[in-house]
Amino acid sequence: MEIDVSGTVCPQTVLIVRRCLAELDPGEELRVVGDYPPAERSIRRSCHKHGFDVSSAPVRDPETDFALRIRVPSAANPENAAPETS
């Protein structure tokens, strides 16, 4: 699954990602692209806190854009993951 959170800011970006992760099964991956660097940090922090594996993905313009791959591990329970705000 892929979502684009460009044009949105925290905490909306984290809430959007949380909803999408709740739809995925263990082992599945969510790709998130966006254009607001503080959102990338918030998404990473929230995902790490709740046991998701997060890695960077290639982007067109690394100066302004970001892309993340978030994998749902078998131990994570995205429905109970509290959203983080920054």
Block means of pLDDT (10 residues each) for the chain, length 86 residues?
95 96 96 95 96 92 89 67 47
Distances (CA, A) of 28 to 13, 14, 58: 20, 18, 19
What Rg do the C-alpha atoms of the chain give, in angstroms?
Answer: 12
31, 67 contact by CB (below 8 A): yes
User: Would you please indicate which residues are annotated as catalytic (active-site) residues?
Assistant: 10
pLDDT at 61: 81
CA dist 60 and 83 (Å) reads: 28
pLDDT at 82: 44
pLDDT at 15: 96
65, 4 contact by CB (below 8 A): no
Distances (CA, A) of 38 to 42, 48, 72: 6, 16, 22
pTM: 0.80
> What CATH number does the domain located at 2-67 have?
3.30.110.40
Q: Where are the domains of the chain?
A: 2-67
